[in-house]
Amino acid sequence: MDLITVVCGIIFKDDLVLICRRKAEKSLGGYWEFPGGKVEDGESDEESLLRELIEELNLKVKIKQHFFDTVHQYDNGAIELISFICESENITSESTDHDQLAWVKVSDLLGWKLAPADIPIAKELIEKFKG
Ligand SMILES: Nc1nc2c([nH]c(=O)n2[C@H]2C[C@H](O)[C@@H](COP(=O)(O)OP(=O)(O)OP(=O)(O)O)O2)c(=O)[nH]1
């Protein structure tokens, strides 16, 4: 099966990072993720991320750096999840794709029910921001 490319933003506001809970009716409903989405034909990863964040969250961010990529095999196919560290000037509180949003400390990330593909990214972030 094909590998689907998905981009996500690790969006910081001060020292908190945004995670979003996927609506129940979506694939991986109820799991928390870093917001983003599938890369469309003809788009760069960065363009895709900026578009998705505006569409879903009406949030404009600054992409600071490419962070970490991971491949995860779900039952219905594999995704490559490409993450970027971003900064946001404002806090968003509504999403078209999620039923809850939370701004959390990096050190608390693994206490949330993250989508399985996000766990290696969360672990890497915890390492990076440790002490
Ligand atoms: N946006 C995003 N998606 C993620 C993350 N982790 C993870 O496994 N995914 C999965 C969920 C989806 O299967 C896919 C992204 O799809 P999407 O959110 O753009 O799209 P969609 O609603 O059209 O997806 P789908 O219901 O058709 O699967 O990647 C993450 O951190 N952010």
- Four-CA torsion 74, 77, 82, 88, nearest 10 degrees: -70
- Which residues on neighbouring strands pair with residue 102, listed in sequence order? 19
Q: Give distance in angstroms: CA of 15 to centre of ligand 1.
A: 25
Q: What is the pLDDT of residues 5-47, one digit of tens each?
A: 999 999 999 999 999 999 999 999 999 999 999 999 999 999 9
Q: What is the pLDDT of residues 44-77, one digit of tens each?
A: 999 999 999 999 999 999 999 999 999 999 999 9
Q: Give distance in angstroms: CA of 19 to centre of ligand 1.
A: 13
Give nearest CA residue, ligand 1 atom 27. Answer: 27
